[in-house]
Structure 1
Amino acid sequence: MPHLYFVFLDGVGLGTADPAVNPLARLHLPAFERLAGGQRWTARAETVATPSLVFRPLDATLGVEGLPQSGTGQATLFTGINCARVAGRHYGPYPHSRTKPVLARHNLFRRLTRLGLPYDEPAAFVNAYPPRFFETAEKRGRWTVTTRCCLDAGLRIRTLDDVLHARALTADLTGITWRTVLGHDVPPLSEAGAGRRLAHLGRQHALVLFEYFLTDKAGHRQNPDEAAAVLQALDRFLSGLLATFDPSQDLLLLTSDHGNLEDLSTRTHTRHPVPLVACGHGAGRFAALHSIEEVTPAVVEAVAAAHAAAG
């Protein structure tokens, strides 16, 4: 059966090719470049549109003035509805009150469960969260967009126990933050190993989503060394995933909610377009997308078509 791997990169845009401000222009990142047809991820990169590989820019401004934010950007990305317009402005980092009903009814996970796919769990969010996250979120009622999507769709949010039993990934890929900062004795994992784990987990579902937010944090901190370390770790992760998943029947999708990391001259988000990568079986379905608003409808259509073709 076909599987779709959705890797969401927080705060990654296609910016200037100036290596002085854009680490994506400065660094040699083999997996990134492979996913862009041999190009670095900048505004100069040409659009790639083949049956098995698509690389193109997507608008993340949503026709709303101001700088895009995670709350409305992610809600748009994971529903297919322009949540910046619903809220009346860009808003973040948490979901805007006006967009919560939209997430509840139209989020990607709920839409996939309606397809009647032959899985006990058609979709899965494979990020794990430590105990203190749940304590804070439940106390304050402040869930992130992706965890709220899980709650609204009845999907399980993965925990420490899932990390211990190799059923989830930590946000930092290797688990080092869980060990050194949070004090949890989780098994060490290489970045490439995390990519291989994602490939394995994906075989149990029609779609798996992994969220990587350290890119956005590095962009806000404007530290070139931190940005380089984050991108190189992510590149090793993608290399591990690409070496393991089957592009003849599976699809890898990557995109973002807004720009940030691509311009270390500013602490804020940017209005740059964000990258869209589709690699593998059915990638060509994503060649005509122009906005992050179009991603979830295209994902639902791709999953439905792939499973219909597989019988």
Structure 2
Amino acid sequence: MNEYIMSLNIDVLPKIDSAQLKIMAKKLPGFNDHKVPQNIKKLGLAHALLEHFLGENWVKEEMCRRYSLKWGALNHVSLENKVHIYNLAEMLFNLQDIEDIETPLKDLCGDDFDSAFSELEAGRVLKSHDIDFKYIKPISKKQFDYDVEILLQKKEWVCGEVKQKTKHNASNDSIKDSLDKARQQLPRDRPGFIFIRVLFPTPKALEQNFEELTTAFKRFYGAGNKRISSIIAWGSYMHPIGRGEEEQRFLAWQSINENCRFPFCESWRLFPDRPFTGEPQTNINWEDIFAIASQ
């Protein structure tokens, strides 16, 4: 593995607005050709955006390796990988103005990719609900190297740590281990939020596991973890949108710690206590980004 794959050096993320997006699209080969299929145009636009944000080397090495692509033949990609590429481009476009967005991007490669992607998804969930937040630069100090800070009701910053589970390792013991590790990253003297990403193939599968997950969260609270005020979980699944394409959708919910040592504040309640489908329109989704570029 070469040095580039091991770390991504981005000091300041290059920004792009809607006007610049249109200019970028017009320069893409075949983008204005009505004979070129839309899915090819969408993938080309996503590729161009990722190259803009993360650099050509990242696209050539990390993206092509991770999504089994061949440089110069980006149309040969599975539907699932295509959606992942769309989602990453969409998140970077929507989160580009978030303070210290560069922090998770530096780990968007190699073994740290999934963790960094989860931090971006947590940001996506927060921003889609118009919740102010910022990423936190690590300082190699325990209880200070958490991932995000969230601004509640425009006046109180609380700390947040992001963990990710997949459908392959979402057992109770595995979730408890992740929650314990997250707790250790959060300060003792401030309310702490844990964000945990769980992946299930369908909403029904997530619903079937919801009670088990909720029980795991309550068991964690009951084990003396009183400084954690809340756990916010979200799951994603693929949803067909026609023309042989799919998009990723989210279900998010929140578990409040009734035994938290900090006095309960209603502003802690950011999400419902059961999963829900869909996102508010604060974020511009990939279809919207493509429509803007096509104008």
- With the length of structure 1 as denominator, give the TM-score of the two structures: 0.30
Larger Rg: 2
Kindly indicate which of the two structures has a greater share of residues assigned to strand: 2
Give the TM-score, by structure 2 length: 0.32
Greater length-normalized contact order (CA 8 Å, ≥ 6 residues apart):
1
